[in-house]
Amino acid sequence: VFLKEVFPTIVDMVSHLADGTRYNIKIDDVDGLISSGTPGVQLTWMDARVGEWVVTPRMGKPIEVNAKWIEGLAFIASMAPRCGVPSIYYEKLLTKAKKGFRRFWNDELQFCFDVIDGPFGNDATLRPNQIFAARPDLGLLSQSQSEAVVKVCQKHLLTPAGLRSLAPFEPGYTPSFSGPSSSRDAAYHQGTVWGWLIGPFINAHLATFKDAKRASQILEPFKDQLSNECFGSINEVFEGGGAQSAKGCVAQAWSVGEVLRAWTLLNPGPPAKSKSQSKPKKIKVPSKL
């Protein structure tokens, strides 16, 4: 019932993306990918800005935006018939976008471009955003490509407190998150570790290597963060260098949420009982939600 009620809004969202929205956000007719960005505006989650300086502009086609776009398209295409909407448009768009996504693979470096079709071409900077695509079940990268992405992120970005936002060998890498707000904002996505990124990393590792034991070992250090600065919670960010000192707010919802989600992936509960085992309670569904 809920899906049928919200599906017209979902369809409307795709239509607006096809037409184009402010900040030049639109579906590229050629490859089906989402492109975005105008000078002086920060749009992705890497949104730090110091005065008029956009620290990490990422104009073009960001990889994590398009990985989630294609995942969403797959859901829309599969659910459309159940909601009385023809699926052919979404299926064709999904096929086009998946084909277009292949261009993110950087064969020379053996990992993905962070952004393609930007003002200066493709951006090969090693950042954690490609981890959202490193799941063979999504059909965006091959098994070997997914393995390569997880390995390079593990080698250069993974810390006991999450993933660095920029590899230490990249120009502009800033290991310290300290000083006035302008200095901290300049470091926010230039090497600072984000705790929430451990969730997508565990997701990718588990989907790629099918090794729950190893993935659990990677998540294990987060137990120490629960008694670090705010008992029972996890900080927003951590320094990229040294011992990853906790920084930012002491209790960040997406840090906590992604750690819990990763833990649930690795420790699934007992399977739900079948209808023959237990009778479900009758629930009165309102005509309108």
pLDDT over 50 (residue 77): yes
Instruction: Give the distance between the most distant pair of CA atoms in the chain.
Output: 63
Q: Which two tokens stand for residue 130?
A: 């490609």
Question: What local confidence, expressed as pLDDT, does residue 83 receive?
Answer: 95
Question: What local confidence, expressed as pLDDT, does residue 231 receive?
Answer: 82
* 286: confidence class by pLDDT, cuts 50, 70, 90: very low
Question: What local confidence, expressed as pLDDT, does residue 285 receive?
Answer: 37
Question: What local confidence, expressed as pLDDT, does residue 249 receive?
Answer: 93
CA distance linking residue 134 with residue 131, whole number of Å: 5
| Secondary structure of the chain as H, E, C letters | CHHHHHHHHHHHHHHHHHHCCHHHCEECCCCCCEEECCCCCCCCCCCCEECCEECCCCCEEEHHHHHHHHHHHHHHHHHHHHHCCCCHHHHHHHHHHHHHHHHHEECCCCEECCEEEECCEEECCCCHHHHHHCCHHHCCCCHHHHHHHHHHHHHHCEECCEEECCCCCCCCCCCCCCCCHHHHHHHCCCCCEEHHHHHHHHHHHHHHHCCHHHHHHHHCCHHHHCCCCCCCCCCCEECCCCCCCEECCCCCHHHHHHHHHHHHHHCCCCCCCCCCCCCCCCCCCCCCC
| CA-angle at 77, arms to 88 and 284, nearest 5° | 125
pLDDT over 90 (residue 76): yes
Give pTM, 2 decimals. Answer: 0.90
CA distance linking residue 126 with residue 91, whole number of Å: 31
Question: What local confidence, expressed as pLDDT, does residue 281 receive?
Answer: 44
pLDDT digits (tens, 9 = 90+) for 195-223: 999 999 999 999 999 999 999 999 999 98
pLDDT digits (tens, 9 = 90+) for 7-58: 999 999 999 999 999 999 999 999 999 999 999 999 999 999 999 999 999 9
* 73: confidence class by pLDDT, cuts 50, 70, 90: very high
* 274: confidence class by pLDDT, cuts 50, 70, 90: low
Least confident window among 50-54, 112-116, 117-121, 281-285 = 281-285
pLDDT over 50 (residue 287): no
Higher pLDDT, 82 or 269: 82
Q: How high does pLDDT run on average in the chain? A: 93
Question: What local confidence, expressed as pLDDT, does residue 37 receive?
Answer: 93
pLDDT over 90 (residue 69): yes
Question: What local confidence, expressed as pLDDT, does residue 275 receive?
Answer: 55
